[in-house]
């Protein structure tokens, strides 16, 4: 109710719509979505909520309730919003929707986002998906959530300059309560697996190191794996992406690679194989095996893909040394952000305290721990 009242304070009218799109965690399958690999994300209770009404103009006013600022986007000149900080993601989505032939209407949008920014929990995807869904619901146009995810990814690639894969937008749009999504990023086929961790609980922790250069380093990794693929094609001409190459085939062909390019490709090929095993383990309730794969994923991201950095490593390793914890790894793009840990139920409070202390001692940063649950990705309520 509180946010509805605040909407009225900001925009002077009653809203008609309340939608939200989720942030996500990723159990395993990191930095493989843009290589056509399998990933296993799940949508969180942390989400981007948008409260909205049509305003009868050709302007879209986007208000951020944490920053307390409004950006005004002109539907006839969305390009002008490219240089914005706040408002750019929304403009990107509207621009791509417009180019795809969707009807757009002027509206007032009130954003309240509980996904921490820059945390590796996909606040940008949550903003994008919530914006698209709000616009479709305001115009009454029919839409498909899978297509909406693809459209939002396109906005981030083309309008915001982040060459991201599909995982985040897909998880935000297609997530289901208490389910992990086993997503094939080459075909976009997906399967839901019950998110059942037996006697363990999932703990999300933020290393709270302000991350720099994520976009440039992320785009650099993408170039490196594209280079790896083009070299490997000499040996494996039938491969259309790195995920097409099995570990056995990779071992025969990898002599065409060297140095960092070899390391990057090794991460991708083996991470893809780990996701398959992890899916089987989760389905079988074999959480110990899942944990070993999650740990191996982090070690590979740290040593071969080099996207963790001092703080995410310190946080993951402090977790693993702590009583009751059987797995911990960095999630998302890296260079900061969050970890997930599997911790025995009943030991989670002591875990948070011990890890927080160890991590602060080692890095000087205070970790944050979130109360999370796995919820539906998109929620829509007409008021
Ligand atoms: C970011 C991107 C995703 C994915 C992850 C790494 O979150 O947006 O597409 O590549 O990094 O797995």
Q: Whose CA is nearest to atom 9 of ligand 1?
A: 165
Q: Specify if 44 maps to a domain.
A: yes
Tokens 């740290």: give the residue.
Answer: 302
Please tell me the distance from the alpha carbon of residue 379 to that of residue 18, in angstroms, as a whole number: 8
Question: Per the domain annotation, does 105 fall within a domain?
Answer: yes
| Probe target for ligand 1 pocket from 332, 334, 339, 340, with the most ligand atoms within 8 Å of CB | 332
Number of domains making up the chain: 1
* pLDDT at position 118: 85
Residue 113 sits in a domain of what CATH number?
3.30.230.10
Q: How far is the CA of 157 from the centre of ligand 1 (A)?
A: 12
Res 129: pLDDT: 98
For the chain, residues with pLDDT lower than 70 are 212-213
Domain contains 12: yes
Regarding the beta carbon of 305 and ligand 1, being less than 6 Å apart is answered no
The reply to whether 229 falls in a domain is: no
Residue 315 lies in a domain: no
Closest-CA residue to 152 (of 94, 76, 222, 72): 94
Which residues constitute the domain of residue 185?
Answer: 2-196+377-382
Other Cβ atoms closer than 10 A to 247: 13
Tell whether ligand 1 has an atom less than 6 A from the beta carbon of residue 333: yes
What was the pLDDT predicted at 216? 86
Q: Is 260 part of any domain?
A: no
Q: Among the options 33, 108, 168, 313, which is catalytic?
A: 168
pLDDT at residue 213, rounded to an integer = 67
Whether the model clears a pTM of 0.75, i.e. scores above it, the answer is yes
User: How many whole angstroms from 59 Cα to the centroid of ligand 1?
Assistant: 31
Establish if 358 belongs to a structural domain.
Answer: no
Q: Is residue 237 part of a domain?
A: no
Confirm if 48 and 148 have CB atoms less than 8 A apart.
no
């Amino acid at each position: 109710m509180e946010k509805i009242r605040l909407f009225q304070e900001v925009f002077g009218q009653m809203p008609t719509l309340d939608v939200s799109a989720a942030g996500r965690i990723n159990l395993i399958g990191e930095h493989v979505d843009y290589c056509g690999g399998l990933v296993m994300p799940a949508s969180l209770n942390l989400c981007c909520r948008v409260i909205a009404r049509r305003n009868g103009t050709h302007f879209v006013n986007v208000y951020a309730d944490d920053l307390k600022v409004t950006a005004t986007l002109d539907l006839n000149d969305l390009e002008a919003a490219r240089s914005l900080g706040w408002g750019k993601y929304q403009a990107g989505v509207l621009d791509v929707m417009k180019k795809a032939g969707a009807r757009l209407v002027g509206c007032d949008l009130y954003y309240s986002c509980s996904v921490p920014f820059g945390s590796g929990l996909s606040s940008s995807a949550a903003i994008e998906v919530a914006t698209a869904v709000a616009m479709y619901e305001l115009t009454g146009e029919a839409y498909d959530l899978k297509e909406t995810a693809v459209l939002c990814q396109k906005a981030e690639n083309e309008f915001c300059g982040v060459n991201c894969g599909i995982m985040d937008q897909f998880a935000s749009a297609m997530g289901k309560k208490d389910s992990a999504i086993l997503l094939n990023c080459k075909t976009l086929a997906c399967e839901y697996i019950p998110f059942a961790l037996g006697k363990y609980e999932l703990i999300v922790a933020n290393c709270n190191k302000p991350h720099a250069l994520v976009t440039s380093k992320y785009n650099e990794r993408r170039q490196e794996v594209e280079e790896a693929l083009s070299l490997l094609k000499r040996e494996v001409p039938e491969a259309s992406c790195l995920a097409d190459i099995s570990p056995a085939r990779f071992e025969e062909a990898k002599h065409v690679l060297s140095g960092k390019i070899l390391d990057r490709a090794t991460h991708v090929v083996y991470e893809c194989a780990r996701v398959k095993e992890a899916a089987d383990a989760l389905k079988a309730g074999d959480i110990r095996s899942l944990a070993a794969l999650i740990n191996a994923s982090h070690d590979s991201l740290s040593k071969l893909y080099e996207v963790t950095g001092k703080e995410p490593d310190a946080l993951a390793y402090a977790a693993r040394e702590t009583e009751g914890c059987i797995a911990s790894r960095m999630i998302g793009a890296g260079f900061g952000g969050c970890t997930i840990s599997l911790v025995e139920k009943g030991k989670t409070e002591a875990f948070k305290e011990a890890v927080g202390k160890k991590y602060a001692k080692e890095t000087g940063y205070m970790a944050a721990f979130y109360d999370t649950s796995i919820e539906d990705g998109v929620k829509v309520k007409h008021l």
